[in-house]
Structure 1
Amino acid sequence: MGFWNNLFGGKTKNEKTYLNKLSWITWDIHNHLLPGIDDGSPDVEQSIELIKGLKDLGIHKSVSTPHVMYGVHNNTPDTIQAAHRSLKNALRDNDIDFELNYSAEYMIDDQLDAIMTGDQLCSMPNKFVLIEMSYLSESKGLFATIKNLLERGYQPILAHPERYNYYHNNFKIFQEIKNAGCLLQLNLLSISKYYGEQVKTAALTLIRAGMYDFVGTDMHHTRHLEALKGVVLKYDVRELLRDCPIKNATMFETVQEKKIA
């Protein structure tokens, strides 16, 4: 019980360092590093600062996932590609070695079906697609969206399920989501109190049940970066997630690469 008790009351050990504590993740599959296209990094300069922070933590590969949210962040493959190209050029000009891919985080809203129908999804390698819901109310289209994505050959991943407060008293819904074919991604900051005590409790409950398939930083700004450093100083994240089948390191391997491994 000491390990779990430490999650709620442990103290940071000052002699530890955050350097390379997240190297085991390999890929950060959820972040908002691309400059100026959503509520994440506002410009290239901050994007580079955040990327340097990820590298310090041991993460050298990333899939940037800007919001696609009707009426708020109306991103398209073109806007995402342009921001990605701008940041890639800046990384090259500053001689920063960092593998930067791009996709999107899709809000389940009235626009998403049209995006799928029009073949305008900006998916990750191997056709993974990150989806999210409003924090205020459950999307009635969640299961239909999961079904539609799977039928089109995509693998949906639900972002930060622990943050949907309306599910906190209905944990069986998470198994129903997984049974429908959707995978679950944990925000690393959720294991602290960054988003609140209830979110932390939900995250730890899902961890104990071995429900998570992926982790992500969901990094938007330097406050997230500093908080993440504090999390990895305070907690042994890899040990915490030992019972979860975290797939970040292998999700983009080809079938042939998996056979060789």
Structure 2
Amino acid sequence: MSFWKNLFTSNQKKNEAVGKLTWIGVDMHNHVLPGIDDGSPDVEQSLKLVQGLKELGIHKCISTPHVMHGVHDNTPTTIQDAHAKLKKAITEQGIKFDLQYSAEYMVDDQLETWIQSKNLCPLPNRHILIEMSYLAESRALFQTIKDIQEKGYQPILAHPERYNYYHQNFKVYKEIKDAGCLLQLNLLAISRYYGEHVKSIALTLIKSGMYDLVGTDMHHEKHLRALKMVAAKYDTFDLLKDNPIKNATIFEDSQKLAI
């Protein structure tokens, strides 16, 4: 009996999630490109993730594979190649979906070289997505923000709620914003997916109106299933109504990557 109950509940939740994230406009942070980082391993999985985004109401995404020295040594060329492979499969399958690409840069000892080389892979309208290790704060964060700005780019810090070392120092989020860096929420953080402490700080940042952007940060089908549960359970538009979410205004009308 429990099997059928769970099956019915699962299908019901899936149906309740259909179209619920349409308001976001553009998913500007995800890892759907195949075989390029710790996200989708192949084109088949990538197509499932793209179809999942469409079910949620998102018809455009900018994929942001990791650029992490010694772990994911991606370049504009490797990213472009993976994008072309998935784009071809989307076209062949007759899927109507706008797939663009950028990167998520780890603040590490290699990032300064990338910034100075002018060989970055930015989001549209000259935005750069950066992240830090979850284990230890990068002392170079504020210098990196400054370096990115001096090259004429707008930095975005990915998922600030997930940096546990900031949870007891809330003022640092304001300092990051005051330095001119935008903040991007991982949508799963409003649930307990990453843990209770991450949820708590995410909700505190939301209540403070600190977020500028929203992303799924989707890597795999487990993330997709969790996103559907979140979309069904929470009115995300209402939850974030007091935050200046810019996904649609910054990225919706971009037709090609701004280099």
Give the alignment's TM-score, normalised by structure 2: 0.92
1:74 alignment counterpart: 73
Aligned residues: 243
- For structure 2, the residue ranges without an aligned partner over 5 or more in a row are 1-9, 255-259
1:111 alignment counterpart: 110
Shift of 1:180: 0.3
1:25 alignment counterpart: 24
Q: Report Cα offsets for 1:104-150 as digits up to 9, x if no partner.
A: 00000000000111111100110111000000000000000000001
In angstroms, what is the RMSD of aligned CA positions?
1.4
State whether residues 35 and 41 of structure 2, in contact with CA within 8 Å, keep that contact through their aligned partners in structure 1.
yes
- For structure 1, the residue ranges without an aligned partner over 5 or more in a row are 1-11, 256-261
Shift of 1:254: 7.1
Kindly report which structure 2 residues correspond to 1:89-238, keeping only aligned pairs within 5 A, or say none: 89-238=88-237
Q: Which amino acid aligns with 2:102?
A: S
State whether residues 32 and 46 of structure 2, in contact with CA within 8 Å, keep that contact through their aligned partners in structure 1.
yes
Q: For the residues of structure 1 that align with 2:167 and 2:181, how far apart are their CA atoms?
A: 18
Shift of 1:252: 2.8
Q: For the residues of structure 1 that align with 2:26 and 2:210, how far apart are their CA atoms?
A: 19
Q: Which amino acid aligns with 2:194?
A: Y
Q: For the residues of structure 2 that align with 1:23 and 1:99, how far apart are their CA atoms?
A: 14
- Secondary structure of 2:157's counterpart equals strand
2:249 alignment counterpart: 250
Q: Report Cα offsets for 1:189-223 as digits up to 9, x if no partner.
A: 00000000000000000000000000000000000
Q: For the residues of structure 2 that align with 1:58 and 1:253, how far apart are their CA atoms?
A: 14
Q: Which amino acid aligns with 2:165?
A: Y
Q: For the residues of structure 2 that align with 1:233 and 1:245, how far apart are their CA atoms?
A: 23
Indicate how the Cα distance of structure 1 residues 121 and 164 shifts in structure 2: closer, same or farther if over 3 A, else same: same
Q: Which amino acid aligns with 1:122?
A: C
Over 6 Å off, 4+ runs: none
Q: For the residues of structure 2 that align with 1:65 and 1:253, how far apart are their CA atoms?
A: 16
Q: Which amino acid aligns with 1:82?
A: D
Q: For the residues of structure 2 that align with 1:119 and 1:241, how far apart are their CA atoms?
A: 35
Give the alignment's TM-score, normalised by structure 1: 0.91
Shift of 1:188: 0.2
